[in-house]
Amino acid sequence: MRIDARGFTFDVRAGGPGDGPPVLLLHGFPQHGGEWDDVVPALHAAGLRTYALDQRGYAPDARPTEVAAYRLPELVADAAAVLDALGVDAAHVVGHDWGAVVAWGLAAHHPARVRTLTAVSVSHPAAFGYALAHDVRQKARSSYIALFRQSGGKAETVLLALNAAALRRLLSGVGDAARVARYAGPMREPGALTGALNWYRAMSGADMKAVGPVTVPTTYVWSDRDVAIGRTAAEACAAHVTGDYRFVELPGVSHWIPDEAPAALAEAILAQVRAGA
């Protein structure tokens, strides 16, 4: 389905019982709403209605050119506006990678719109900031961000050179070649990768610091083979949730949790949904 909100048109994959409790699913970089395809069958079987959003920069008709248009407050406002357009007052919200950052922001700034939060892979922005400041290993893990934030198209050139070899290598943890191509293919369309990278270019410390404590029931799902987020950031999350908090660690799983461990992720989501019902 296509949803008009804030002057853009977003692509949304909807499924499950039409009258089921709504779940908003927010993808990460450099993927799209299809990353939830292996997770949602269990949610549908449990009676939930899911909406997997292709976010700003990823949906072709929601791709502004200005870097400032990708600041975190704009991304959070998109999620809230899509809920408005769907007629949903409050949803169970699930976000992976950058989608987790948006989900943390939505829960912190608009708690009435979030029944429960399940953040996947990426920790609360304050926990991530703490890790960057105190853990040299997290600084090393995050070194790739400097390339992604460069203007002038250098990151696009690096990632798309030689038939997008670097982009495909980045995505290698999602599964076989067909699954890698499923995500890499859309990123090769004109303007798509720039829209996705603009999330990094617009990232600011002030916006991240503005994400305060989360009061809604929250589950944070982290995997111990995540190359981007280390244990320091993961374990610091608890200090930034004042509501019911659950930490689910998936051993032996990489950063790409929705693709690699969909059953375990669905179980964690459903446990939080049931507890928050």
Q: What is the CATH number of the domain that holds 264?
A: 3.40.50.1820
Quote the pLDDT of residue 275: 87
Strand partners, 93: 24, 117
Closest CA to 96 of 242, 263, 240, 265: 265
Is 21 part of any domain? yes
Phi-psi label, residue 68: left if phi above 0, alpha if psi -120 to 50, beta otherwise: alpha
Domain extent at residue 223:
2-138+204-276
177-187 vs 154-170: helix axis angle to the nearest 10?
Answer: 160
Is 47 part of any domain? yes
Per-10-residue mean pLDDT for the chain, 277 residues long? 97 97 98 98 98 98 97 98 98 98 98 98 97 94 93 92 94 94 96 97 95 97 97 97 97 97 98 86
Is 192 part of any domain? no
**CA 260 to CA 250: how far, in whole Å?**
11
Is 106 part of any domain? yes
Phi-psi label, residue 86: left if phi above 0, alpha if psi -120 to 50, beta otherwise: alpha
Tokens of 68: 């400032």
Tokens of 128: 């991530």
Is 112 part of any domain? yes
Quote the pLDDT of residue 186: 97
Q: Per the structure, how many domains does the chain have?
A: 1
Is 162 part of any domain? no
Is 92 part of any domain? yes
Strand partners, 222: 249
Phi-psi label, residue 219: left if phi above 0, alpha if psi -120 to 50, beta otherwise: beta
Quote the pLDDT of residue 151: 85
Is 76 part of any domain? yes
